[in-house]
Structure 1
Amino acid sequence: MFSTWKSWTVQSLAVPWKPNSHASQQSTSTQNNLQESLTPEELSAVEIFKQARLSVVHIIALESARDLLKKEWEGIFGLPGEEQNPRGAGTGFVWDNQHVVTNHHVMAGSKEAKVRFFDSTEELEAKLVGTDPDHDIALLRLVQLPKNDLVPLTRGISEHLLVGQRVYAIGNPFGLEYTLTTGVISGLGREIASRVGRPMFNIIQTDAAINPGNSGGPLLDSRGKLIGVNCAIASPSGAFAGIGFAIPVDTVKKVVEQIMQFGRAIRPSLGIFFAPEQLGRRLGLEKGLLILYLRPNGPAEKAGLLATKREKGSGRLILGDIVTSIDKRPVNRAVDIYRVLETLNVGDEVVLEVIRDGQRIDKKLTLEEMVEDNNKQNSSDWFRRRQLTCRL
């Protein structure tokens, strides 16, 4: 239902894992001689890479493969019954003195990873702390620390970015470790769909070359500060076509802080299941979103909103409330509500304007955390609702 956000294919950037070796480095004397002939802009790029490469890592996501023979003997001799095999690879970067950030889709299906730093063959063990699929962010904790101290990237502020700024991307495209590409910010405030179909807002667009394997790598400004996390490309072929996307660092900060505190991302919810937009139009709604279901004892139900139902006996369909605005911002598509909720937190109050029996009324409600229904009773009905409705 969100296909209107884009007219291109948005390609995630994780790649299948394959072993790789570092290219030999030039001698210090040779580098010094070369630097004398470089322009100030080139020297700046060289220095940014030299500093940032210490913070960028190659991530190898692992998946469990249980060996049946080991499983048989495990209970007798205490042998391990799990093996960790490489599943895919991507890029990440040091966040603090123990954590590494990457994309959710790099770690999807994995709870452990091997992390390798620049100019090192040592693969360090890391465990997944938590992910936010909606913002394509994952946080790893290093179980093993490298011999040298960790060097977190200095964080910038993505709110102050301007189109035309010089940017630098570091990653492992196609397994070619620690590749630097340069470009500019081509656009700001883009909207793309996450892996789970939820819109991601305020995305940075860049023409710095980004390819599969760059997933989770940093996008840096001309001072070497982190301004985004590379996550996807727009491409008709699956290869780089001049349009790359990065999650803004302001969003990353918020998500990482939540994962550190709660082990998960905290999303505010109205407790409403909306009818798909096309269904509302078929029912004759010119604007607004129709409420199909309400989460039991959720914010919307507590506020007295009404869901669609069938009249007992006759089976006649009685339409529920139609939400036409949230905090005075018009609502015609699900993305309109997503955009407002993106700026709010659990506990904030919002005012929904709804149409009920032809009358406009305002309903104030307090946002609560989005929760999953673990009640297995009527599970088939629950999954039907999830597939047919937009959950907010």
Structure 2
Amino acid sequence: MPRALPKAFAVTVLLAFASPLTAAQATPAPPTPTLPAAEQATVNVIEQALGSVLYIDAFSPGETQGTFSSPLFADPGAQGDEASGSGFFVNAQGYALTNYHVVEGATRLTVTLRGNKQTFTARTVGTAPDFDLALIQVEGVPDTLIRPLALGNSDTLRIGQTTIALGAPFGLQFSATTGIVSATERTIPTGVRGIAQSAIQTDAAINPGNSGGPLLDSAGRVVGINTTIFSPAGAATGVGQSAGVGFAIPINVAAGLLPRLQSGQTILGPVLGVSLAPFDLTDLTEQARQQYKLPRTGALISQITPSGPAAQAGVKGGTTRVPTPVGTVFLGGDVITAINGQTIGSAADLREYLLTRQAGEKVTLTLDRAGQTQTLQVTLAPGTVPGGNR
């Protein structure tokens, strides 16, 4: 039988083996570094808001691009009939806002949420192609995962305010960038018809895949919807990248359309039924204006849509076919100088004004017809999506 060790020796051996582990356990963990208050506030806003952001995969039946598709707006990693973008929840029923060009032409949408491996399906509820906006509803998502973001007031933004852009640049899901409001008085071509509209300019990095994601203020309220970037390099290569000049649709525009989107409408600006000259009258020489009896400003009508609102009201199109550096134009038609008493200085003015009206509404056109003033009333017709309305 082995001889028993002295009790004191046994305790000493036990302590010898135990002491390193005990010492390790007793060592306190390094303290979490304390962030400056402003930085901690930004971290908190981003951490909370990312739970409301959607990563959207849009699948189309073929490889043809939609009327608004562009490498500026799609995930460059997407192949053929798949593109991606971002969105965010706006209410507890699973409705989410995104860009129209993210879901345009898609027959199937899937959504991924941060920290959740499950993929959810979504359906397009309503669209506003002229405003590049769409409302989708995520289906089958648990109520606990629906975290609507509060909407701010884009009309009160000031240059220099902090901005936070959330989304999936280049498919890198749930990314965040920060910057400031760079300008509040910008207009950019927006929607399927490229109508100039107000936009928020920010230097928070926005890249392909950020489209449809929220632009937040420092309190975590949505002030805009990331939509496009200005990228000289992209113009040359076909793949736009952030150059510190990004644009977002003001959230007040989306909020005003939200009830109509939720009711399932396709919202398009109404039309007069005319084709306008692709240049401003200010671009013409004095000789050309005198030859064709044109005023110095206004929206020059090139052609009239047969049986359209303008044709029915007696508006005249051009009759003299003239080739120009920007395409063939028919001169000799009416020039719209005002609508409902509001001065129209250019084609852009007319398009922007029509976005504020609705189909079926009657408007009064003031026309310059070969130097003579005419006044006609026209009933606006519904607009249509180029290439067909989904």
Question: Following superposition of structure 1 onto structure 2, how do residues 32-43 of structure 1 map, counting pairs within 5 Å?
Answer: 34=32, 37-43=34-40
Alignment of 1:1-392 (within 5 A): 34=32, 37-64=34-61, 87-96=82-91, 97-146=93-142, 148-194=144-190, 196-237=192-233, 238-277=240-279, 281=284, 284=292, 285=294, 286-309=296-319, 319-371=332-384
- The two structures have a TM-score, normalised by structure 2, of 0.73
- Residue identity in the other structure for 1:50: E
User: Between the two proteins, what is the percent identity of the paired residues?
Assistant: 36
- Per-residue CA deviation, residues 69-124 of structure 1 (Å, 9 max, x unaligned), is xxxxxxxxxxxxxxx99612211111221222211222233122110111011110
1:269 aligned partner, one-letter code? V
User: Shift in Å at residue 184 of structure 1?
Assistant: 0.8
For structure 2, the residue ranges without an aligned partner over 5 or more in a row are: 1-29, 64-78, 234-239, 321-329
Look up the match of 1:10. Answer: none
Give TM-score, length-normalised by structure 1: 0.72
Provide structure 1 residue ranges, at least 5 long, that are not aligned to the other structure.
Answer: 1-31, 67-83, 311-316, 376-392
Give the partner amino acid of 2:174. Answer: Y
Q: 1:58 to 1:296 in 2, by over 3 A?
A: same
Are the counterparts in 2 of residues 56 and 93 from structure 1 also a CA contact under 8 Å?
yes
Asked if the contact 1:112–1:127 (Cα under 8 Å) also holds between the matched residues in 2, the reply is: yes
Q: C-alpha distance in 1, partners of 2:241/2:387?
A: 40
Cα distance in 1, alignment partners of residues 340 and 148 from structure 2: 39
Give the deviation of 1:232 after TM superposition.
Answer: 0.9
AA aligned to 2:183 is G
* SS of residue in 2 equivalent to 1:44: helix
Give the Cα–Cα distance (whole angstroms) in 1 for the partners of residues 261 and 154 of structure 2. Answer: 20
Structure 1 runs (4+) deviating above 6 angstroms are: 372-375
Distance 1:374 1:174 in 2: 28
2:73: which partner in 1? none
1:177-199 deviation digits (Å, cap 9, x = unpaired) = 21111111001131222363422
Greater shift in the superposed pair: 141-150 or 208-217:
141-150
- In the TM superposition, what is the alpha-carbon distance from 1:161 to its structure 2 partner? 1.4
- State the aligned residue count: 320
Q: Map Cα deviations across residues 242-291 of structure 1 (whole Å, 9 max, x no partner).
A: 11100111111234433332431132222322233379946743433333
- Structure 2 counterpart SS, 1:190: strand
Cα deviation, residue 44, structure 1: 1.4
Is the 8 Å Cα contact of residues 124 and 146 (structure 1) preserved in structure 2?
no
Is the deviation greater in 240-249 or in 252-261?
Answer: 252-261
Shift of 1:212: 1.6
**CA contact under 8 A between 2:184 and 2:200: conserved in structure 1?**
yes
Amino acid at match of 2:338: S
Q: Does the aligned pair in 2 maintain the 1:58–1:90 contact within 8 Å?
A: yes
Equivalent pair of 1:62/1:85 in contact (CA under 8 Å): no
By how many angstroms is 1:166 displaced? 1.1
Kindly state the Cα deviation for residue 355 of structure 1 after the two structures are TM-superposed.
Answer: 1.4
Match of 2:259, SS state, is helix
Q: Give secondary structure in 2 for the equivalent of 1:52.
A: helix
Q: Distance in 2 between matches of 1:221 and 1:104?
A: 23
> What CA distance in whole angstroms lies between the structure 2 residues aligned with 1:207 and 1:374?
34
- CA separation in 1, counterparts of 2:242 and 2:199? 17
Cα RMSD for the two superposed structures: 3.1
- 2:19 counterpart residue number: none
Distance of 1:65 and 1:371 partners within structure 2: 22
